[in-house]
Structure 1
Amino acid sequence: MAKNPCIIGVGMTKFGNLLETPELKNKTFQELVAEAAFEAYDDAGISPEEIDAFIVGNMLPQTSLSNSQATNCSDWLGLRYKPGFHIDTACSTTLTGIGIARDMIASGKYKNILVVGGEITNSYPDMENDFPLDRKPLDRVKLWKWTDYAVDHNYAYQHFYGFDALIGVFGLAYMKTIGLSFKEFDRIMMQINKNVRLHASMNPKAICYEDGTLEEEAKREGFSSVEDYWKSDKNPFIAWPVRKKSVLNYADGASAIVLSSEPKKFTKKMPVEILGYHWAAENWPWDGSSEKIAFEGAYKMAGIKPKDIDYLTVHDCFQSAYLTSSEIAGYLEPGKAWKAILDGRTRFDGDKPMDTSGGRHGVGHAFEASAGAETYEIVKQMRGEAGKRQIKKPLKIAVQHNAGYALHYAVTVYKTAK
């Protein structure tokens, strides 16, 4: 019997574009979160009537039309009159919500809680027509203007803050610290993206699922080798030494998780225990401490060491996180993450698997739904339900890492429960 509250159900929509993706076309924010929630209910074998409380995450009211999503979504989730509230720690929100829900259940007041997160990043309501169901494409300048409300405008923007530049700085810092040449670093980043696209090509929920692997895309674009494609004008630098394909793809979508103190009552599927978690918030300028603090706090609560981890997922808005965060986590040897990646160890069929969903490039990044999408992947992997991308070795301990903009680190430790 699990000692801690467990995840008994997970759900998520296809990640894509509300204006283009057939599975998502013309849906509202409420419809997105309801779709994810009812998949999670079905997965858990639970009904909305048996849910005691709920948490809803959303970052961009400009695209979802509300900054009070618990009230707006309550009916859609089948949870009218139930205790519910809206939270926002940006991209770590659903993981933060899992920690809150865990402790709400552990308090004894609640038995079953739904955590759901959703985001729309590709369009916004056409209010000029006074009909919010009509949506217009959202250009990246406007999206980032709204997203950057998460940054300290009184300080950071007065001191030359810029997200694109940071992408390059993190990559450059690793390259210089380890002593890699640009040519070596570029080859490592290409291999990371090959892994990401391989995993996404086996994940029907992923935004890149239909596009296939990086090798297949290169061939479609008329390149004789994936290396030539990687270095071509099709893949320009975002900020040297990092290229476009090493960062996120924007997505619309939702994810949902059901937690319970009595898993055996609802399902025969393997419950996944929330063994520990920790968060760390940090304002600009970032000094790197918060990420390490979040990992160490989660490990301490869970009573584990890095050597105990069977699977790690990192927040890969920029894919240099596979190098830096995996080493900070203690999952890969300091200064040697690049070698583990080149040796194929971090693929789904390697001995140090990471981010087998496809991550924020392959699955796509629907801000406040993305952490829940990675939880979805962890639960599927720990149950042995991940299909073609199923990790080959048995999983007992998994660790999830997310970074909420700007900046809230969240780390959670999961364990398969009997």
Structure 2
Amino acid sequence: MEKVCVLGAGSTKYGKLEDSITDITLQASVDAIESAGIESKDIKAGYISNVFGVADKQVHLGPVVMSNLGISDRPSLSIESACGSGSVSFREAYANVAAGFYDVALVAGVEKVTHTGTEWTTTYFSYCSDFFYEGQSGVSFPGLFASMARAYMNEFKATEEDFAQVAVKNHDNGLLNPKAHLRKKITVDDVMSSAVVASPLKLYDCCPFSDGASSVILCNEKFAKDHGANYIEVMGSGRGGSSAALQGREHLTTIPSTKIAAEAAFKMAGITPKDVDFAEVHDCFTIAEIVDIEDLGFFEKGKGVEAVREGQTKLNGQISINSSGGLKSKGHPIGATGVGQIVEVFDQLTGKAGERTVKNAKIGLTQNFGATGASCAVHIFQSV
């Protein structure tokens, strides 16, 4: 296998955007191309992650993006894996570059849904669940993650205030990210007094609906050395699956796909969770971040909530979690989220993270899942 590197990265601001889904994808992609110091013609293939293109009247997005970049003859693949689409697209590009099929590939993730309104957007999101058992029965994702939160509270010594600490920490990080959707400082009291969405989760326990696009350029090591002063290496890549419906899980306080994907990624990288300096994890709801950091092996089961309570996951704590602000503050344009996590790792490991820099960081990890964790991908990166 070829060694695979990330040579460039780019992203739009996350939030409510006026430009079309095509335009914002191109903006992020051009940023990534310029960041890599290459030209569009150097790209041999494109991998585009998107879930609800139909909401902006554009579903076959790959060829549209490649055509607008002036490389219409290059193959593209549009990928959907619910909220985990971005990391799955990255995985497919990684596998093809590692196999030697392409020396350079573009990965772009995008979503544009805010213009559809809350009712329709919530309906679209429900299609990512096991709709027969969950969505059409009236169970939304807040309700499903609320079930996980209640189970966690019953099994371990956790409180609603503990979950609120996750939101407060991620908003503090998001204040330092100029591209974050919700750049607003909040307190535990703010979270606790916000409207109940699905008990015990409140409004400030939930990530926002966001528009946005993120892109990265992957290449083999030779191309990176020939063309880039700043690049990072992909150390490990893993994917895993879980029961599509939450009711099919043996336990509600763990996500099997994360554990499977993490085990594969750590094995490939030849390291352990203790070697990771920072991680971008899938905090669609505050409970998710706590479950994630346990399933990834950063903390023992039931101890993640203690880590949050003690500030171990704050910026430059024992392990910095979601330095970007995470889905909670940075935002969650679902097709872009997994790619956006990798943009953050690239910025951190190449000295471009500004005020939110994780000091002396050498190894970063991303974890991105779809739905309630039915699919997951974990990637590990190192500076060179």
TM-score range normalised by the length of the shorter chain:
over 0.9
| Aligned residue among 26, 40, 44 for 1:34 | 26
Q: Verify the 8 A CA contact 1:312 1:398 in the aligned structure 2.
A: yes
Pick closer, same or farther for the CA change 1:56–1:228 going to 2, 3 Å: closer
Q: Which one-letter code corresponds to 2:258 in the other structure?
A: E
1:355-377 Cα distance to aligned partner (Å, 9 max, x none): 01011121111010111111111
How far apart are residue 62 of structure 1 and its match? 2.5
In the alignment, the residues of structure 2 paired with residue 151 and residue 230 of structure 1 have an alpha-carbon distance, to the nearest angstrom, of 26
Q: Using the aligned pairs only, state the percent identity.
A: 27
In the alignment, the residues of structure 2 paired with residue 397 and residue 146 of structure 1 have an alpha-carbon distance, to the nearest angstrom, of 36
In the alignment, the residues of structure 2 paired with residue 253 and residue 54 of structure 1 have an alpha-carbon distance, to the nearest angstrom, of 18
Question: Hey, what does 2:276 align to over in structure 1?
Answer: 309
Deviates more, 1:368-377 or 1:341-350: 341-350
Q: Verify the 8 A CA contact 2:40 2:71 in the aligned structure 1.
A: yes
Q: Which structure is larger by alpha-carbon Rg, 1 or 2?
A: 1
Q: Does 1:213 align with 2:185?
A: yes
| Aligned residue among 78, 87, 90 for 2:79 | 87
In the alignment, the residues of structure 2 paired with residue 230 and residue 414 of structure 1 have an alpha-carbon distance, to the nearest angstrom, of 33
Question: Hey, what does 2:252 align to over in structure 1?
Answer: none
Question: Hey, what does 2:365 align to over in structure 1?
Answer: 399
Alignment of 1:317-336 (within 5 A): 317-336=284-303
Q: Verify the 8 A CA contact 1:186 1:241 in the aligned structure 2.
A: yes
Question: Hey, what does 1:257 align to over in structure 2?
Answer: 216
Q: Which one-letter code corresponds to 2:190 in the other structure?
A: Y
How far apart are residue 94 of structure 1 and its match? 1.6
Question: Hey, what does 2:354 align to over in structure 1?
Answer: 387
| Aligned residue among 374, 398, 405 for 2:341 | 374
Question: Hey, what does 1:240 align to over in structure 2?
Answer: 199
How far apart are residue 384 of structure 1 and its match? 2.2
| Aligned residue among 199, 203, 207 for 2:173 | 199
Question: Hey, what does 1:111 align to over in structure 2?
Answer: 103
Q: Verify the 8 A CA contact 1:122 1:251 in the aligned structure 2.
A: yes
In the alignment, the residues of structure 2 paired with residue 98 and residue 316 of structure 1 have an alpha-carbon distance, to the nearest angstrom, of 19
1:212-267 Cα distance to aligned partner (Å, 9 max, x none): 311xxxxxxxxxxx4543332xx111111111101111111100010011211221
Q: Verify the 8 A CA contact 1:4 1:275 in the aligned structure 2.
A: no
In the alignment, the residues of structure 2 paired with residue 289 and residue 344 of structure 1 have an alpha-carbon distance, to the nearest angstrom, of 26
Question: Hey, what does 2:317 align to over in structure 1?
Answer: 350
How far apart are residue 161 of structure 1 and its match? 4.0
1:120-162 Cα distance to aligned partner (Å, 9 max, x none): 1201xxxxxxxxxxxxxx2222112222222333444576643
Q: Does 1:43 align with 2:35?
A: yes
Q: Does 1:122 align with 2:110?
A: no
Q: Verify the 8 A CA contact 2:163 2:205 in the aligned structure 1.
A: yes
In the alignment, the residues of structure 2 paired with residue 90 and residue 391 of structure 1 have an alpha-carbon distance, to the nearest angstrom, of 29
| Aligned residue among 138, 141, 144 for 2:122 | 144
How far apart are residue 317 of structure 1 and its match? 0.5
Number of residues of Structure 1 aligned to a counterpart in Structure 2: 375
Question: Hey, what does 2:16 align to over in structure 1?
Answer: 17
Q: Verify the 8 A CA contact 2:235 2:268 in the aligned structure 1.
A: no
Deviates more, 1:294-303 or 1:375-384: 294-303
1:80-100 Cα distance to aligned partner (Å, 9 max, x none): 111111111121112111111
The gaps in structure 2 that reach 5 residues or longer are: 250-254
CA-based RMSD of the aligned residues comes to: 1.9
Question: Hey, what does 1:217 align to over in structure 2?
Answer: none
Q: Which one-letter code corresponds to 2:302 in the other structure?
A: G
Calculate the TM-score normalised by the size of structure 2.
0.92
